[in-house]
A and B are shown apart, each in its own frame.
Chain A
Amino acid sequence: MDYQDIELLRFTTAGSVDDGKSTLIGRLLYDSKSIFQDQLDAVEASSKSKGFDYVDLSLLTDGLKSEREQGITIDVAYRYFATPKRKFIIADTPGHIQYTRNMVTGASTANLAIILVDARKGMLEQTHRHAFIASLLRIPHAIVCVNKMDLVDYSEEVYTNIVADFKAFSSKLDIKDIQFIPISALNGDNVVNRSENMDWYDGSTLMYHLETVHISSDHNLVDCRFPIQSVIRPHTLDYQDYRGFAGRIDGGIFKPGDKVKSLPSGFVTTIKTIELNGEEIAEAFAPMSVTMTLEDEIDNSRGDMIVRENNVPQIGQDLEVLVSWMSTTPMQARTKVVIKHTTNETVGMIKELKYKIDINTLHRIEGIDKVEMNDIARLSIRTAKPIFFDAYKKNRQTGSIIIIDEQTNETIGAGMII
């Protein structure tokens, strides 16, 4: 296989005990031959010593001692597999409400979300939650797998009703692309191979979807954004006057010769070269890491941003954000925090708590005086210096922030700019 020329797809799965998430992941790994014999042997031995009658594939993903002891997933686990068409990174997260922050973490880098629905139970609170988080974090694609079809006699009616229920709910959400697939992870129906038990379903299998879903437009290719990570100055005889700006492109397409503007200075210049390791690049776009040189000598440094002259981000000190709170310490208004945004860092103040969102019903809860761990809330933040940002809706990189506790240095919140 031509392994070198395949794309990378990052997807997230969320689920609770018994909804078949581990079985599904196990099935994907097993059927794509990504489980090795020694891993399987270890899991088999471990299942046996615990007295199970079957091989518990969740032991493959639950890596920490405490997780294995308790038989639950606590943290995000990353799993990897590849087919001749794509390489996949799974962010496997627990699905229970008390782990909302882990789901948010896993969702932040995903192109696609797999949402599992138990065919016997239909839409549950946790289905709402998983769909809402996918929408909140703006995962571009979702696949709703109606699982355990074998336990409802592969009934088309059961499936159609669940699809209708889901669509009614998701009309309130903002997910670009939702697909539905009836599966049995246990028996493998419609996971990698087409099911012989559901001739009424004429869509494709889960694996086919994962391999073919169109992801090239997931990155913003319109609004040019290049946050500077660092300045490269070799101080060698060969490169005496070299001044390169190192960073990763967060949006748009940059080319040598482009007129660009540097923020915050506002200075306009032209891109001289875009390169990496001395090799020149004709066109650079997200998510490429490059080094840029400019025609004019501009005093840029880390945290500055290079954009197009006629397409600048918002510049300001007042942010409206939806935040996922990650700390055991509740947040209150008037708290001083550190804000990280692109390669920029600044002190900020939580000015006002506006409302919380009940993530099961999507209802707003107004009049709140604190935000607790796993809450999703809307708030206003004032930063000490201006930052250059876009709405999260427009760009997931330039529209996101993390909130850090000044005293403990812990990451306490994840924010999406409205």
Chain B
Amino acid sequence: MSNYIINHLRELESEAIFVIREIAAQFENPVLLFSGGKDSILLTHLAKKAFFPAKIPFPLIHIDTGHNFPETIAFRDELVEKLGVTLIVGSVQEAIDKGRAKEETGADASRNSLQIVSLLDTLEEHKVDAAMGGARRDEEKARAKERFFSHRDEFGQWDPKNQRPELWNLFNGRKNYGEHFRVFPISNWTEMDVWEYIKLENIELPSLYFSHQRDCVVRDGVILANSEFITLKEGEAVETMTVRYRTCGDMPITGAVESTADDLDKIIEEIATTRTTERGGRADDKRAETAMEDRKKQGYF
């Protein structure tokens, strides 16, 4: 009987596909939140597998902060074309122009929390009742408490103390009018699982994830890409460094790591020996000990 066991990557894959299929079956207007990062690329890959030979039966939503890496946008457009899925873009710039969101000022200004407004507006506009995302429990301590099916009230808020218990593989997606769900099919994956699976399945990624030369600014120990979105502080200088990204958010807040890992094997080896978490370079998490929980309660994913 001992042959009837699947390895951990296939078990995680099977669990994620089950959850993605549940979303499609239980909701009327589900969407996939696509950030252009490796986790949402992985999620899109799993969605393709879940419904093949049919196309992915829901659109992708991308919240464009206007501060994206150009590589991310190019990759996104190519992927959407290849899969033949619908792409909906929610624009933070538009929200700012309409006066729905207010731009932060100062050298550390970020559009990270402004995304919440655009995200909630876009979900409402398209009457989305389930938005699935590539968040993982191992990423951050507030995310460790997330359910697969995470309920949001009519204001898009998360109530971490009053979450529905989730047992076996029975997911309760029932809701009242106006409420919606965030669903996280790859909750149980770790950073290492993601990379191993990307290798196993030969999934294409934006070039950002692999070692490259880039003009950078080091701020508070975080290596930031020099771009039009960043204002140099006194004493800061631009230098060319050999870097890669472990996560992929907005340009002004996503920290790079110095790395010469230019293929998947080297990246996996690097992660196996690294001593910091992948969000360790995220300036948005460093604002307070509970920065993520606070943003999630407001509707961040």
Q: Interface code B1-30, partner A: CB below 8 Å = 1, 0 otherwise?
A: 111111111111111011001101100000
User: B193 on the interface (CB 8 Å rule)?
Assistant: yes
Q: Is the CB of B275 within 8 A of A36?
A: yes
Q: Is the CB of B4 within 8 A of A253?
A: yes
Q: Is the CB of B172 within 8 A of A404?
A: yes
User: B257 on the interface (CB 8 Å rule)?
Assistant: no
B220 to chain A, nearest CB (A): 13
Q: Interface code A62-89, partner B: CB below 8 Å = 1, 0 otherwise?
A: 1111101000001111111010001101
Please measure, in the bound complex, the distance between the C-alpha atom of A87 and the C-alpha atom of B22, giving whole angstroms.
Answer: 25
Q: Which of A241-285 contact B (CB under 8 A)?
A: 242, 244, 246-248, 253, 276-278, 283, 285
Residues of A within 8 A of B102 (CB): none
Of B174, B190, B289, which contacts A46 at CB under 8 A?
Answer: B289
B123 to chain A, nearest CB (A): 19
Residues of A within 8 A of B168 (CB): 108-109, 396-397, 400, 402
Of B12, B142, B170, which contacts A63 at CB under 8 A?
Answer: B142
B200 to chain A, nearest CB (A): 6
- Size of B's binding interface in residues, CB under 8 A: 68
B168 to chain A, nearest CB (A): 5
Q: Is the CB of B7 within 8 A of A63?
A: no
Residues of B within 8 A of A105 (CB): 165-167
B47 to chain A, nearest CB (A): 11
Q: Is the CB of B137 within 8 A of A36?
A: no
User: B79 on the interface (CB 8 Å rule)?
Assistant: no
Residues of A within 8 A of B50 (CB): 246, 289
A397 to chain B, nearest CB (A): 6
Please measure, in the bound complex, the distance between the C-alpha atom of A289 and the C-alpha atom of B19, giving whole angstroms.
Answer: 10
Q: Is the CB of A75 within 8 A of B145?
A: yes
Residues of A within 8 A of B137 (CB): 78, 80
Residue among B51, B142, B174, B190 having the largest count of chain A Cβ atoms under 10 Å: B174
Q: Interface code A97-127, partner B: CB below 8 Å = 1, 0 otherwise?
A: 0000110110011000000000000000000
Please measure, in the bound complex, the distance between the C-alpha atom of A250 and the C-alpha atom of B274, giving whole angstroms.
Answer: 38
Of A108, A229, A235, which contacts B22 at CB under 8 A?
Answer: A229
Please measure, in the bound complex, the distance between the C-alpha atom of A338 and the C-alpha atom of B199, giving whole angstroms.
Answer: 42
Residues of B within 8 A of A89 (CB): 188
User: B105 on the interface (CB 8 Å rule)?
Assistant: no
Q: Is the CB of B7 within 8 A of A36?
A: no
Chain A residue with minimal CB distance to B195?
A3
User: A212 on the interface (CB 8 Å rule)?
Assistant: no
Residues of A within 8 A of B165 (CB): 101-102, 104-105, 326, 411, 414
Please measure, in the bound complex, the distance between the C-alpha atom of A78 and the C-alpha atom of B289, giving whole angstroms.
Answer: 19
Residues of A within 8 A of B12 (CB): 8
Residues of B within 8 A of A224 (CB): none
Q: Is the CB of A234 within 8 A of B17?
A: no
Q: Which of A43-75 contact B (CB under 8 A)?
A: 46, 60-66, 68, 74-75
Of B5, B51, B53, B142, which contacts A7 at CB under 8 A?
Answer: B5
User: B144 on the interface (CB 8 Å rule)?
Assistant: yes
Please measure, in the bound complex, the distance between the C-alpha atom of A79 and the C-alpha atom of B55, giving whole angstroms.
Answer: 34
Of B9, B174, B188, which contacts A409 at CB under 8 A?
Answer: B174
Q: Which of B13-63 contact A (CB under 8 A)?
A: 13-15, 17-18, 21-22, 24-25, 48-55
A356 to chain B, nearest CB (A): 19
Q: Is the CB of B276 within 8 A of A37?
A: yes
Of A64, A277, A396, which contacts B49 at CB under 8 A?
Answer: A277
Of B22, B52, B167, which contacts A402 at CB under 8 A?
Answer: B167
User: B202 on the interface (CB 8 Å rule)?
Assistant: no
B27 to chain A, nearest CB (A): 12
Q: Interface code B55-80, partner A: CB below 8 Å = 1, 0 otherwise?
A: 10000000000000000000000000
Q: Is the CB of A65 within 8 A of B290?
A: yes
User: B103 on the interface (CB 8 Å rule)?
Assistant: no
User: B161 on the interface (CB 8 Å rule)?
Assistant: yes
Please measure, in the bound complex, the distance between the C-alpha atom of A66 and the C-alpha atom of B160, giving whole angstroms.
Answer: 10
User: B293 on the interface (CB 8 Å rule)?
Assistant: yes
Knowing A38-B277, A63-B142 touch, does A402 contact B170 (C-beta < 8 A)? yes
Q: Which of A389-418 contact B (CB under 8 A)?
A: 396-397, 400-402, 404, 409-411, 414
User: B280 on the interface (CB 8 Å rule)?
Assistant: yes
Q: Interface code B163-191, partner A: CB below 8 Å = 1, 0 otherwise?
A: 11111111010111000000000011010
Q: Is the CB of A4 within 8 A of B9?
A: yes
User: B215 on the interface (CB 8 Å rule)?
Assistant: no
Please measure, in the bound complex, the distance between the C-alpha atom of A13 and the C-alpha atom of B145, giving whole angstroms.
Answer: 16
Of B13, B170, B200, B277, which contacts A340 at CB under 8 A?
Answer: B170
Q: Is the CB of B21 within 8 A of A289?
A: yes
B113 to chain A, nearest CB (A): 17
User: A157 on the interface (CB 8 Å rule)?
Assistant: no
User: A171 on the interface (CB 8 Å rule)?
Assistant: no
Please measure, in the bound complex, the distance between the C-alpha atom of A82 and the C-alpha atom of B24, giving whole angstroms.
Answer: 32
Of A65, A108, A229, which contacts B25 at CB under 8 A?
Answer: A229
Q: Interface code A14-38, partner B: CB below 8 Å = 1, 0 otherwise?
A: 0000000000000000000000111
User: A287 on the interface (CB 8 Å rule)?
Assistant: yes
Residue among B2, B175, B193 having the largest count of chain A Cβ atoms under 10 Å: B193
Residues of B within 8 A of A68 (CB): 289-290
Q: Which of B257-295 contact A (CB under 8 A)?
A: 268, 272, 274-277, 280, 289-290, 293
Residues of A within 8 A of B272 (CB): 1, 3
Besides A221-B1, A409-B176, 7 other CB < 8 A contacts?
A6-B7, A64-B293, A235-B54, A276-B17, A289-B13, A396-B168, A414-B165
**Residues of B that sit less than 8 Å from A by CB:** 1-15, 17-18, 21-22, 24-25, 48-55, 137-138, 141-145, 160-161, 163-170, 172, 174-176, 187-188, 190, 192-193, 196, 199-200, 268, 272, 274-277, 280, 289-290, 293
In order of increasing CB-CB distance, the 10 nearest A-B pairs are A63-B141, A8-B8, A409-B174, A234-B54, A289-B17, A37-B275, A108-B167, A277-B49, A289-B14, A216-B5
Provide 13 A-B residue pairs closer than 8 Å at the C-beta atoms, listed in order of the A residue: A3-B192, A8-B8, A63-B144, A68-B290, A78-B144, A109-B168, A234-B53, A248-B169, A277-B52, A278-B52, A402-B168, A409-B176, A410-B164
